[in-house]
Amino acid sequence: MIKNIWRFRAAILPGSIIALSFLLLALSIFYILFLHTNQIEFSFNFLNHRIIHLIEFTIFQAFLSTLLSLIIGTLLAWSLAHQNAFFGRNLLIALLSSSLVLPTLIVVFGIISILGNNGWVNRALLSLFDTSLGNFVYGLSGILVAHVYLNASFAARSILHVFESIPKERYKLSKSLGFSVLTRFVLIEFPAIKNSLKSIASTIFLLCFTSFAIVLVLGGSPAYNTLEVSIYEAIRIDFDIPMALKLALIQLSITFFLVILSSNFHTGLSNIKTASTPVPWREPIATHRVQILIILLCSFLFILPLISIVVDGLGANFGRIFHDALFLKSLFTSILIASCSSIMTVICALLMSDARRNFNINHRIKKSKARTLIDLLIAFSGNIYLAIPSLILGLGFFMFSQTFQGPQVLWALLALLSANILMSLPFALSILYPSMQKIAQRYDKLAFSLNLEGKSRWFYCEWPYLKTSVAYVAALSFCLSLGDLGVIALFGSDEITTLPWYLYGLMGSYNTKDGAGVALMLLVLTLSIFILLPKVFTRNFRATNQ
């Protein structure tokens, strides 16, 4: 094994060093938190009534959000899978894909515009029926609405791919046996999507369990705080560092347990378009109408907050916004950090995937327990963010800044870059690693026989098959970094600020007009990069090769 590792050292060492660095960073975060928690009476009143309530509510809202997201996502995916001729179907699927990169603060802003005390719904109810929903959007109801908005679309997009992968022969068999729609779903469709549902449910639960921006804005009161928001309030509002450390360790323990529990549920995220292969007969008329109704209703609910951001944003005074020096600084910082994070995420994902595939291909390194262990360590290092959310990571860097002398801006930049890379890495690896493994399995013998190594192998064997995925990963990580409000909530100041933090400041000061304008710019910037960057990237590559 050592001989083969040495043979492929150029492919193994860079990615392994990066994976080892991430593991060391995670251990350092644990160590710095543990080091400081030793200074307090940690065992005294460890789980008091308040902390138990925080844990219960965090789990409760995550469970309800996951359940509702799965139900709505499955219904929408089922309807889209059986309505291939629906007008605007491809556009709707593209919008569902973009929900993954929508900044949560924009979604919150749109939901408040629709359901807030002075939102569209309340104004319509007051004018038509002289009644309103009041502050319905603040509290558990608002948290659930925002979580379901983001995660149901993610679930629908993922489950739709599974529905469309079901062999059409099974549908033909169900038709010949005269199955009802319900029997067909129970005997054919549900067994096909069952494993994906487990995987998607575990991912959504973890996302909702560590949700920050949504709970921070829509929680409304301490009764609806989660662990993540309580850590933020303990640091920024109460200046109670021991309490923040205690909550951080509790959250780390629970997330680690959840990550290990869900480690058997695997799902893949792909930029490959779904293959629409229509079933050659129409659904029963009643089922057809129900499916159309579900698609229309979900489309309306998904698009409405985005429309409200556009409509409200167009009424903003953009001249005043662009003359604000703090806005320009926030915009420049956000783009700079997102660009650096995107480039570093792509490099890390490519090198880690290159290293990991050596430990999964028998003709490179033979199967053994050591090979399996190294493979697991590299895979785990790329998914550390699921166990250490950005706010905990930020708290670790905050404690580093208190322990080691250095400019606060430097620590903030390090924390932001680290959090953004770790946040994007699970998605980047799930896209790039399967492709790189297939390339090696298919072209290794030919490349070895032609003595293709290094740059030659990369340009002739790897790049032609990876360029689309690399562009997608670059756009995805840029957008995820652009909209993050986790770490900057701890380090945000006049010295360093980002666009989401600037928008949060406008919302906190009830400057909704300027906030609407900034939200619109953030939305346009995010969707433009997500849609256009892969196309421009691929087009330029074609032009240089003609």
pLDDT digits (tens, 9 = 90+) for 126-137: 888 888 877 788
- CB distance 415 to 393 below 8 Å: yes
Q: What percent of the chain has pLDDT over 90?
A: 16
Q: Is the dihedral of CA 380, 385, 387, 392 positive or negative?
A: positive
pTM, 2 dp: 0.82
Using CA atoms of 342, 343, 347, 349 in order, give the dihedral in degrees to the nearest 10: 10
Q: Determine the pLDDT at residue 345.
A: 95
Which residue, among 166, 190, 187, has the nearest Cα to 178 in the 3D structure?
A: 187
pLDDT at 279 over 80: no
- Tokens 């169900």, residue? 174
- CB distance 427 to 473 below 8 Å: yes
- CB distance 95 to 174 below 8 Å: no
- CB distance 426 to 385 below 8 Å: yes
Q: Determine the pLDDT at residue 405.
A: 78
pLDDT at 272 over 50: no
Which residue, among 193, 281, 222, 307, has the nearest Cα to 51 in the 3D structure?
A: 222
pLDDT at 141 over 60: yes
If one counts every other C-beta atom within 10 angstroms of the C-beta of residue 270, the result is 15
Say which residue, 154 or 20, is predicted with more confidence: 20
Q: Which segments within 360-471 are labelled E, that is strand?
A: none
Q: Which of 38-47, 120-129, 396-405, 407-416 has the lowest mean pLDDT?
A: 38-47
Which residue, among 118, 111, 146, 113, has the nearest Cα to 132 in the 3D structure?
A: 118
Q: Determine the pLDDT at residue 271.
A: 47
- Tokens 């569209």, residue? 120
Q: Determine the pLDDT at residue 274.
A: 47
Q: Is the dihedral of CA 382, 386, 388, 390 positive or negative?
A: positive
